[in-house]
Structure 1
Amino acid sequence: MNFSPLASRLGNIAPFHVMELAKMAAALERQGRSIIHMGIGEPDFTAAPAVIEAASRAMAEGLTQYTSALGLPALRAAIAGHYLRTYGLQVAPERIIVTAGASGALLLACAALVEQGAEVLMPDPSYPCNRHFVAAFEGQAKMIPSGPAERFQLTDAMVRANWGAATRGVLLASPSNPTGTSIDPAELGRIVASVTERGGFTIVDEIYQGLSYDAAPFSALSLGEDVIVINSFSKYFNMTGWRLGWLVVPESLVPHIEKLAQNLFICASAISQYAGLACFAPESLALFEERKAEFRRRRDYIVPALEEIGFRVPVKPDGAFYVYADCSALADDADRLTIDMLEQAGVVLVPGLDFGSHAARQYIRLSYATSMENLQEAVARLKTYFKRGTGLAPGFTLPK
């Protein structure tokens, strides 16, 4: 059955290339091919044992009914305790809203703040869903080209230069997907001050903040209570499919977010919320730190390995589990290159086209959220692929 007319906003939502590559990879696997997945950003670790036990206990005890739209009071308090313990920040539990993943948090924030025609500044490249949340509420994501000199992030100067009559705020991610790079805290402070001076909002996606490797723990919440922060149990806490996240907002915004949450979600999964409480148990936190150290070990292997093949990594990632690599010395089109590497070498990487338009055909994103054995095998396959030089799409050249 065909539905007509469809909402015009659908035209503003682009396909997600990583998911298309995942479908192509699945088809090859059904043919018996061995495929190494380094496309989707999902930890290869699963939930901690204490988390699984807590979920089982919640189900056994019948704790499966609706919770408050703002989340379990105990979980909100536990998240507040996490900010105090990790960042030395006093965050009132009343400012914390438990959501259906970071996606739910972004949806609620955009529903509350983005109007038709409102412009939101973001760096190009950025995680594609962020701009699509803005588009879903008929706003306009203004993508500002950002390169290695800016660590693929926005700077205060870029924000001030691009702020216009329709601009309502900025949406940032630190560390970022796809680049794994963070914004220097001092620079972020300058951005927040400029946005506040102009009466705008600052949303900072900190979903990868727990996976920061090279600097002291930092949260944008230290820059003032007007900053809106999004986080999740998916990445550091290894709970992607549990769909549990949170949103920290100014106290004045809480009743408005609550009204939206009541109508759009009712609440986050009760079972996931009870399970999430166990993330803050000492044994769970110790495990997460061990896994974080393993991610760092993988980063420290894969970056020089890529450079040895012929990729260029202009900014070493300091967080998350991604490398944003320049492939221009190897090929003239990252999109075709990723398809060819999948078909010829059985390795899934993601083209820069997913993340924006600025130099997009020059970059690929690699996720090192897979085992060291898989990373080593992928590197071996890619070395063979480029040395062989057969089957490459037109325009490809071998590494220098």
Structure 2
Amino acid sequence: MRRLAGRVDHIDPFHVMELAKMAAVLEREGRSIIHMGIGEPDFTAPPAVVAAATRAMSDGKSQYTSANGLPALREAIAAHYAQVYGLEIDPARIVVTAGASAALLLACAALVEPGAKVLMPDPSYPCNRHFVAAFDGEAQMIPCGPEQRFQLSAELVRAHWGSSTRGVLLASPSNPTGTSIPQQELQDIVATVREKGGFTIVDEIYQGLTYDAAPFSALSLGDDIIVINSFSKYFNMTGWRLGWLVVPSAMVPAIEKLAQNLFICASTIAQHAALACFAPESLALYEQRKDEFRRRRDYIVPALRELGFVVPVVPDGAFYVYADCSKLSDDADQLTIDMLNHAGVVLVPGLDFGPSTAHGYIRLSYATSMDNLVEAVHRLQVFFQARRQS
């Protein structure tokens, strides 16, 4: 086999998936496993969305769309920003993509040059740093603890900006922590990056799942902000692989050219289906499901604390809890393996999300039923009691 490109060496394995494979082996052996590792809603697309996909297939609406997406869908997304956030976004600035991953890939392809450094918090979603590495840039991970809500601050951006820094990549709410950047802090970060002549990319794929504050998008801070969003999380369409990108008007031709060459277009069937996401009955269902996620969060956070975990920051969005397990173990990776093997519960160690919390934190996804959460807590109670007695 010929030698692979050197950039492959900078892409780490995804430990979440390794645990999922271990769990699958146990399930094949007949074990009951409760999955709270992978961040995927247990809800699926609403009936109106499924019906719209069926109609599109029956009507033969399966040819390529333009690289930027169906005009009707771009207009519907713009209308959603107006309705929910009070923002007037030109649909021409919206590019429909094959999931948020494709949106991040396009943004990094357009902005990251070899050797460029991009600031992001540690912990953060591992694929974000790998998108930067894919274009021979360097993700500069800045340790961000509970005192910063596990998020970058303007002060940290100023302190770590160097001659090779080109921008910041943020996520609000964040995976793995479920925490958002306060509006004033985000405004200060944007002003700092603007002063340095850099770019600001904000991943808002969990923005629809914000529980404790009024809806807010970074797009309100200026037309130069690049925002990523997705139909996967709030809209419950993970496997449909559909997202979008909002970019400054001047960037649209470059993004369109890249999209034409790298993807041609996002799934046409998924795009037609997504139009039904904005129907009143679909939006009402999404809000009901959001309330259910909030109910689960309000159950699992105190339950984790009772088990001995420390939850230093209550998540205000997404469907994750980032919990300090250092009072229970000095090795989060081994602890998650033990919890899987002995309790049948899948949680994720901090190993994937950055070195600063690799060994002392675990991530829990509460995107599963309340019954599963209650049973998981019971199993973990038994597990930790047995550990204390051994």
TM range, smaller chain: over 0.9
Of 267, 280, 284, the match for 2:278 = 280
Whole-angstrom distance in 1 between the partners of 2:334 and 2:9: 24
3-state SS, counterpart of residue 162 of structure 2: coil
3-state SS, counterpart of residue 296 of structure 2: helix
Identify the residue that residue 352 of structure 2 maps to in structure 1. 354
3-state SS, counterpart of residue 237 of structure 1: coil
The C-alpha deviation readout for 1:14-48, integer Å capped at 9, x for no partner, is: 00010000000000000000000000000000001
Identify the residue that residue 7 of structure 1 maps to in structure 2. 5
Percent identity reads 76
3-state SS, counterpart of residue 121 of structure 2: strand
Of 91, 105, 108, the match for 1:107 = 105
Shift of 1:360: 1.6
Identify the residue that residue 66 of structure 1 maps to in structure 2. 64
Whole-angstrom distance in 2 between the partners of 1:257 and 1:348: 38
Identify the residue that residue 218 of structure 2 maps to in structure 1. 220
Whole-angstrom distance in 2 between the partners of 1:387 and 1:194: 49
Of 315, 319, 322, the match for 1:321 = 319
Q: Does 1:148 align with 2:170?
A: no
Which residues in structure 2 correspond to 1:101-140 (within 5 Å)?
Answer: 101-140=99-138
Whole-angstrom distance in 1 between the partners of 2:62 and 2:123: 40
Whole-angstrom distance in 2 between the partners of 1:292 and 1:361: 31
Identify the residue that residue 306 of structure 1 maps to in structure 2. 304
Whole-angstrom distance in 1 between the partners of 2:337 and 2:8: 26
Whole-angstrom distance in 2 between the partners of 1:194 and 1:312: 33
Of 191, 194, 210, the match for 1:193 = 191
Shift of 1:4: 1.9
The C-alpha deviation readout for 1:101-142, integer Å capped at 9, x for no partner, is: 000000000000000000000000000000000000000000
Whole-angstrom distance in 2 between the partners of 1:209 and 1:269: 23
Which residues in structure 2 correspond to 1:141-290 (within 5 Å)?
Answer: 141-290=139-288
Whole-angstrom distance in 2 between the partners of 1:59 and 1:199: 46
Whole-angstrom distance in 2 between the partners of 1:264 and 1:190: 34
Identify the residue that residue 393 of structure 1 maps to in structure 2. none
Q: How many pairs does the alignment contain?
A: 390
Q: TM-score, normalised by structure 1?
A: 0.97
3-state SS, counterpart of residue 123 of structure 1: strand
Identify the residue that residue 56 of structure 1 maps to in structure 2. 54
Shift of 1:359: 2.6
Whole-angstrom distance in 2 between the partners of 1:113 and 1:164: 17
Of 18, 31, 41, the match for 2:29 = 31
Whole-angstrom distance in 2 between the partners of 1:50 and 1:251: 32
Whole-angstrom distance in 1 between the partners of 2:98 and 2:197: 29
Q: Which 4+ residue blocks in structure 1 deviate beyond 2 angstroms? A: none
Specify every segment of 5 or more residues in structure 2 that has no aligned partner in the other structure, as ranges: none
The C-alpha deviation readout for 1:277-323, integer Å capped at 9, x for no partner, is: 00000000000000000000000000000000100000000000000
Whole-angstrom distance in 2 between the partners of 1:383 and 1:338: 14
3-state SS, counterpart of residue 361 of structure 1: coil
Q: TM-score, normalised by structure 2?
A: 0.99
Q: Residue 212 of structure 1 aligns to which amino acid in structure 2? A: T
Q: Residue 82 of structure 2 aligns to which amino acid in structure 1? A: L
Q: Residue 15 of structure 2 aligns to which amino acid in structure 1? A: H
Whole-angstrom distance in 2 between the partners of 1:247 and 1:153: 22
Whole-angstrom distance in 2 between the partners of 1:70 and 1:197: 30
Shift of 1:179: 0.1
Whole-angstrom distance in 1 between the partners of 2:55 and 2:146: 48
The C-alpha deviation readout for 1:211-235, integer Å capped at 9, x for no partner, is: 0000000000000000000000000
3-state SS, counterpart of residue 139 of structure 2: strand
Whole-angstrom distance in 2 between the partners of 1:265 and 1:216: 35
Specify every segment of 5 or more residues in structure 1 that has no aligned partner in the other structure, as ranges: 390-396
3-state SS, counterpart of residue 55 of structure 2: helix
The C-alpha deviation readout for 1:239-263, integer Å capped at 9, x for no partner, is: 0000000000000000000000000
The C-alpha deviation readout for 1:56-80, integer Å capped at 9, x for no partner, is: 0000000000000000000000000
Whole-angstrom distance in 1 between the partners of 2:6 and 2:200: 28
Identify the residue that residue 76 of structure 1 maps to in structure 2. 74
Identify the residue that residue 367 of structure 1 maps to in structure 2. 365
